[in-house]
Chains A and B, each alone.
Chain A
Amino acid sequence: MNNFMIHTRNLVKVYRNGFVETPALSNVNLDVGKGEYVAVFGPSGSGKTSLFNILGLLDNPTSGEVFFMGREIGSLPERQRTRIRRGNIGFVFQHFNLVDELTVQENIELPMIYHNLSLKERRYRLMEAMERFRLSHKRHEYPRQLTNLQQQTVALARSVVFNPGLLLADEPTGDLDSASGTEIMELLSMVNEHGIAVVLFTHSLREAQKAQRMVQVFDGHIVTQGSQGLI
């Protein structure tokens, strides 16, 4: 079990809005190993984002257990979840979610602000990430001056700059044209090759196939699990 980056048991998520209950996930059992690349694949409304939030420690499950690096975190309060999230999990979203008031460099630097890294270390990692994602020449520009692809690249650089164990990406190509999408997928693979576990949430089978392993969700259930060859 300790080899798992993240590991869930009988995960259930039900949204309550007043008297209406919407089940989003039911009995989800999912393991993601260290350094693994997993694609969670399913149609719209199947519960991908719900799972993304729980795995990313942004939300609590209604019931069931979630282990992050061996520690049960499903019922932890927000404060402790934030502490665990800090420095361990990177996020990429469909809509990029960059801070508009910050430059490229500042956006990439942002996660390290909340981390007790020395200035030197921060500088070094920042330079390294900008080199790696070929953003150095854009460092002083603002998100609104960038193309969508460049923005998503910045978002990706931001997510890995602090060298997390896990990267979660929720429809990272949703706002991109197909050429750009391909480029982002390549970058994701590159990230994974650097030893970071990646969980990609997508409704595109073509993209899902880039992962080592696919998990198909439908109506909140995991339908199949296995290596690529099985589908």
Chain B
Amino acid sequence: MRWSSFIKIAFRNILLHRGFSLVSLIGLSFGIAIALLVLAYVDYETSYDTHYPESEHIYRLVSHGMIGDDTIQSALTPQPLAQVASGFNGVKASSRLVPGTRKLVKSNYARFNEPYFFYADNGFFHVFEIPFLIGNPTEVFNDTNSVVLSRSASQRFFGTRNPLGEELTLDNGLVLKVTGVYYDLPENTHLRADFIANWQIIESRMEESLKDEYPKWINNWFALNTYTYLRLSEDVSIDSLENYINTESGKLSRIYFNDFAVGMDVDYEKMTVRAKVQPISDIHLSTHLDHEIQKGASSTYVSVFAGIAIFILVITAINFMNLTTARAARRFKEIAIRKTFGAGRRHLVLQFFIESVLFCFLALGLALVFMELFFGRFTELFDISMGHSSFINQISFGWVLLITLLIGVIAGSYPSFFFSGLRAEKVFKGQMRTHRWGIIIRGILVAFQICIAVALMSVSMAMHNQLNFLKSAPVGYNPENLIVIEREYALGAQSDSVKQLLLSKDEIESVSSVHFVPGDETSIMSYKNVSDTAQVVLMATNMVDAHFFKTIGARLAKGRWFEEQDYADSSLVVINESAARMLGFNQLENCKLELIGSGLATEQLVLNVIGVIKDIHYESLKNQVRPMVFMQHFQGARSEHLLVKFKKGSMEVGIHKVEEVWTSVLPEEPFVYFNQIDKLDELYREEYRFARIGLILAFIALVFAILGLIGMVSFVVQSKSKNMEISRMLSASSPLILVGTFRGVSGYIFAGILSSLLISPLVIDYWLSGFYYSFTPSGYCLIIPLVFMSIVSFLTVYLVGIRVFKSVVKKSES
């Protein structure tokens, strides 16, 4: 049939115009490759937590509400909630889950820092029916001290040995026995668990240590400290489940309050935290609660990515269309002949569609090769946590074919439209003039591409400005020459002597124990101003020692910092300025705070504020500084980090000395540290990502805009040379043609550049509105890309114009 003849001619054309075909093929396959990579990533992000068996029936309970005047939106729930929920008819299984040690885990063969360690109930394996490699999920938690682990964790710790019955020793002293191994969970889950230990061991441990206080702990309705998961049967009404849970838990928390919190000056009515039921597939993108196991991705970010994919596809298709049309202009004669001999509009459309779709599939083949080659580059560039295997799983062949087909159809549509109005008899007479519309449409496309390129340049410049601003903005302390050593508690009783040893080194300026360093997620507690009974204030709470102030380089606003002799009096605290403002402390006389709802405190805890320090940015500058309370370490309390401040210029040598000291004292324990400055960068990871994407896109858009310009200029020069019928006197009129070309093209260039001035300020403003602290973007962010694009455009027009013009002269002379 005619299909075969069209396919044949398509291939013939590709081969006959090899150079041209190669350029368009590479451009097209590059565009397809990037778009597919991005789409695969978008798909990866949007299919989080959908891989579990019957994942649509798995839900999580979360907490929403108010404590005093503060809004609570937490992924954590009170511990007894799972028990209450399981009383509802449609709840098939429920489980509590808490993250365990995120630190050192040892087996007889290996030791690693393991960030993905959890404790869960038996019910966990009924909620998440994850497939087991070894062991039976219903029996693995028969013993209190059992633990199951993922296949890769098992390989890490036991190699090829059979892990069943082997022991794992945790940082907190627990010894657990391996009773099962499950297949690795998919990468795109919010619950990346490498170890799941039996919850029972926590309870028995607490029972041992708390003794009489145990019921108060186990029934605590006022601490949000546990993740709660449910498996529901199909026909459950979420509303009635929520109602049931909240009614029941309301009763129980009332009882708990009466039993344990009487005498505490707390208004029960002001605590209105309610449980909400959330499908687990919503966790990653839709809800951004506090205390997530793993930080979700912003859905804006993912939509931006989806937008990018579409943008790249459109730009690629436009560019391809441009090139196809440019080539098609050389095929007037062929089209005219076909028309004369009876080719109708639909035949021509079909022919062009077949040609461009076929070409697209060739490009797809090449694109797949590109994707394989650039996958690592891509994930690195965009800072994406997607392994190669998930990526392969993510690519759905149907989609790929559909997209390729779509580009082919888009790209083929313009030439078809272009040619259907072609008059055969005029072509034969040599009267075929270039379509004015052809130039206008191309012009608009070029203007669009230029606009996008300039806007992206402006936006990414503004982003980089803002990030530089953030990096150099005062954070309230001095992060330079400062390292943070993890697991200070491993030093145990030797902590003090190690600190002394460190201080004796020349390179080290000061040393301090601290629970949270800037960049950590702090724990939030409720306080009251003693002289103002009504107001409850949520404040970040940190445990520090007397040297923290000097080590981190904070500044004092009022009063004083702790001295070593203050250790005896645990009621002394220092707050930051934001806290002072919030609490209404204008001077330091008689500033007393009360800590509320600390489940374990038997008497009410009144704290005396001895000083106010200037705000330290613990979070990114996107957020306002939180009010913070600094307490002293209780004697013997576990401290997470050891801060070491070096003298200027001696950090490198200093770190070696610190490591020597550490390994001499604790030869068994790994020395793990990070640089505080790097931690700061970590806070802006997503912003850096955006800025990088902006830059890459600006580059892509720039390349495509230049390609578009090249196509258009050669088109205009050719048609001008023909129209003026100057083949004989070309040399005389050469400047004339170039001037004419400039005039024809410059309007579109300026239209593109100027319209970007309307877009970029809006985008920049929108982006900056996400920051609590931001700079005022300077006009340079707009002017520099504008000037740059003007120069590049006119250089392109000039160079291409001259070249094409010369080739036209040559042709007419021969």
Which residues of A line the B interface, CB within 8 A? 49, 53, 56, 58-59, 79, 82-83, 85-87, 91, 93, 95, 97-102, 106, 109-111, 113-115, 119, 158
Which of the 9-residue segments B330-338, B403-411, B516-524, B595-603 touches chain A?
B330-338
Chain B residues with CB under 8 Å of A99's CB are 333-334, 337-338
- Chain A: minimal CB distance from B333 (Å): 7
Q: Is B344's CB under 8 angstroms from A114's CB?
A: yes
Asked whether A53 lies within 8 Å of B425 as measured between CB atoms, the reply is yes
Given A93-B428, A110-B337, is A101 in contact with B342 using a C-beta cutoff of 8 Å?
no
Verify if B396 is at the interface (C-beta below 8 Å from A). no
CA distance A106 to B13 in the complex (A): 14
Given the complex of chains A and B, what is the CA–CA distance between A83 and B424 in angstroms? 15
Asked whether B342 lies within 8 Å of A86 as measured between CB atoms, the reply is yes
Given contacts A93-B428, A106-B5, A114-B347, contact A101 B341 (CB under 8 A): no
| Bound Cα distance A82, B345 (Å) | 9
Are B345 and A91 within 8 A (Cβ)? no
CB-CB under 8 A for A59 and B425, given A79-B345, A114-B347: yes
Judged by a CB distance under 8 angstroms, whether B96 is at the interface is no
B1 proximal to A (CB < 8 A): yes
Contacts of B9 in A (CB 8 A): 101-102, 106
Given contacts A58-B424, A101-B12, 12 further A-B pairs with CB under 8 A are A58-B425, A59-B423, A79-B345, A82-B345, A85-B341, A85-B342, A91-B340, A99-B333, A106-B5, A106-B9, A111-B341, A114-B347
Find out whether the CB atom of A101 lies under 8 angstroms from the CB atom of B16: yes
Those 4 A-B pairs whose CB atoms lie nearest each other, nearest first: A86-B342, A111-B341, A114-B342, A58-B425
- In chain B, positions 416-430 with a C-beta closer than 8 Å to chain A are 423-425, 428-429
Bound-state Cα–Cα, A97 to B336, Å: 9
For the complex, would chain B's binding face be called helix, strand, loop or mixed by DSSP majority? helix
**B791 at interface, CB cutoff 8 A:** no
The answer to whether B2 and A113 have CB atoms under 8 Å apart is yes
Rounded to whole angstroms, the CA-CA distance of A114 and B338 in the bound complex is 9
For B17, give the chain A residue with the smallest CB separation.
A101
Q: Given A58-B424, A97-B333, A101-B13, is A110 in contact with B338 using a C-beta cutoff of 8 Å?
A: yes
Instruction: Please determine whether B425 and A101 come into contact, CB atoms closer than 8 angstroms.
Output: no
The residue in chain A whose Cβ has the minimal distance to the Cβ of B427 is A97
Contact A109 B425, CB 8 Å, known A114-B342, A114-B344: no
Determine if B341 and A114 form an interchain contact, defined as CB atoms under 8 angstroms apart.
yes
The one of A83, A98, A101 in contact with B344, judged by C-beta atoms closer than 8 angstroms, is A83
Whether a CB of chain A sits under 8 angstroms from the CB of B255 is no
A82's partner among B1, B336, B344, B428 (CB-CB below 8 A) is: B344
Using a CB-CB cutoff of 8 Å, which residues 1-18 of chain B contact chain A?
1-2, 5, 8-9, 12-13, 16
**Contact of A114 with B345 in the complex, beta carbons under 8 Å:** no
Residue B343, interface by CB 8 Å: yes
- A58-B340 contact given A53-B425, A97-B333, CB 8 Å threshold: yes
Question: Which residue of A is nearest B2, CB measured?
Answer: A113
B339 contacts A by Cβ under 8 Å: yes
Alpha-carbon separation in the docked complex, A111 to B340 (Å): 9
Complex contact A82–B342 (CB within 8 A) = yes
Establish whether residues A82 and B339, one from each chain, have CB atoms under 8 Å apart when the complex forms.
Answer: yes
B6, chain A: closest CB distance, angstroms? 8
Q: Which B residues are in CB contact (< 8 Å) with A115?
A: 342
The distance in angstroms between the C-alpha atoms of A91 and B371, with both chains bound, is 50
A-B residue pairs in contact (CB < 8 Å), sample of 6? A82-B345, A86-B342, A87-B342, A99-B334, A106-B9, A114-B344
CB distance from A196 to the nearest CB of B (A): 15
User: Which residues does chain B contribute within 8 Å of A97, judged by CB atoms?
Assistant: 333, 336-337, 340, 428
Residues of B within 8 A of A82 (CB): 339, 342-345
Name the A residues within 8 Å of B2 (CB-CB). Answer: 113-114
List the B side residues contacting A101 at CB < 8 Å: 9, 12-13, 16, 334
Chain A residues whose CB sits within 8 angstroms of the CB of B424 once the complex forms? 58
**Residues in B152-184 with C-beta less than 8 Å from chain A:** none
Which residue of chain A has the shortest Cβ distance to B429 in the bound complex? A49
Max chain A CB contacts within 10 Å: which of B13, B337, B339?
B337
**C-alpha gap A110/B342 in the complex (Å):** 9
- Give the docked Cα–Cα distance between A153 and B806 (Å): 37
Most buried by A among B8, B13, B334: B334
A111 touches B333 (CB 8 A): no
The interface centre, meaning the residue of A56, A86, A119 with most chain B CB atoms within 10 A of its CB, is A86
Alpha-carbon distance A99/B5, docked complex (angstroms): 14
Docked complex Cα distance between A111 and B5 (Å) = 12
In chain B, what residue has the closest Cβ to A119? B1
Chain B residues with CB under 8 A of A85: 340-342
- Distance in angstroms from A189 CB to nearest chain B CB is 23
- Closest beta carbon of chain A to B436's beta carbon, Å: 14
**Considering only CB atoms, which chain B residue lies closest to A57 in the complex?**
B340
Q: Mark B343-364, 1 if CB is under 8 A from A, else 0.
A: 1110100000000000000000
Chain A residues positioned under 8 Å from B423 (CB to CB): 58-59
Closest CB in chain B relative to A55 CB, distance in Å: 11
Partner of A79, one of B340, B344, B429: B344
Query: Could you say which residues of chain A place their CB within 8 Å of the CB of B339?
Result: 82
Among the interface residues B336, B337, B342, B344, which one has the most CB atoms of the partner chain A within 10 A? B342
